[in-house]
Structure 1
Amino acid sequence: MELTQYVENLRRELRTAAEVGGEDARALADRLLPSLDSAVRLTLLEALSAAADEISAELAPGSVDVRLRGGTAGFVVTPPPAAPAAADTAAGPVEVRLPPAEGDDAAMVRINLRLPANVKALAEDAAATGGLSVNTWIVRAVVAALATEGRLATRPAPAQQPDRSVGQSYSGWAR
């Protein structure tokens, strides 16, 4: 998906809006537009990534990843594994779906995972073989493990408690 057409559409709309404000507004718009290019592209990528996360939650253990090459955003769709053969479905197929996220649970969270070096290497190889990022591969593995244990939909929603998060969260971009 080429982002340039969306950036150009926004430039055109801002120039049109500046025309109403007179010569000073046009001059200001001309000075601001070049610096907005990176910010607009970043915002579009964040929106695409958020959409991919929502779609991945519905496809679990399948996934959708956004990859940027040059000025083009691309999507990598990894469908869930095929259903087991009829002989394997005697107990019925196990559906692997994430429970719908609500409120604060809708946000992605970061955890630190310590693995032995050989396990990490095996996970990287498995992810590469599947054309996935290591993060996506780990998420799929966790979801599949929870599904086989029947735990995906059994946890009640957390009660409203004061925010006890530790550390700091940063977002934005830098040049």
Structure 2
Amino acid sequence: MNLTQYVDQLRQELAVAAEAGGDEARALAERLTAPLESAARLTLLNALSAAADEITADLAPGSVDVRLRGLDPEFVVTAPPAAEPFDARAEYAALMAARPEPPQPPPPPAAPDAADDGGTARINLRLPAHVKARVEEAASRDGLSVNAWLVRAVSAAVDQPDGRTAPAADRREARRSGNGFTGWVR
């Protein structure tokens, strides 16, 4: 930025003001213009520096600096870094990776062998479609057939220490005490 034009304009304004004061004022103005030039440049540099500080405060984390090259100041603008787009999948994956695994319940007892009780019995079981789908998923996860998974689940339910299945309230409480999280994460 060339400050010479601003300093020359100040010199002309001073000469115009001195004309109104007569010959003595004009002579005084001519003697003052040389030392006044450096003071005017310094004042303009201070004003530009203060302006750069205010712009930097509004531009943070970017910045604006004023550098002096010879007699003229130069502005150096550092733009703020571009914001990375939010990737919900990556955030969720990172959150899931950092989360400790909840303790796994002990596996239900193995289904008794057919040789243990001398035979098998056949029953028809009707399940709602959504429950059947969940049973198939669970059996697949455990690497079992649906029949073997159902035998294991029924055995675990009837082999409670007191011979009874857990009351419904206890089963609900057991489900609530898990370490799972639901909802959206940002």
For normalisation by structure 2, the TM-score amounts to: 0.47
Give TM-score, length-normalised by structure 1.
Answer: 0.50
**Structure of higher RCO (CA pairs closer than 8 Å, 6+ residues apart):** 1
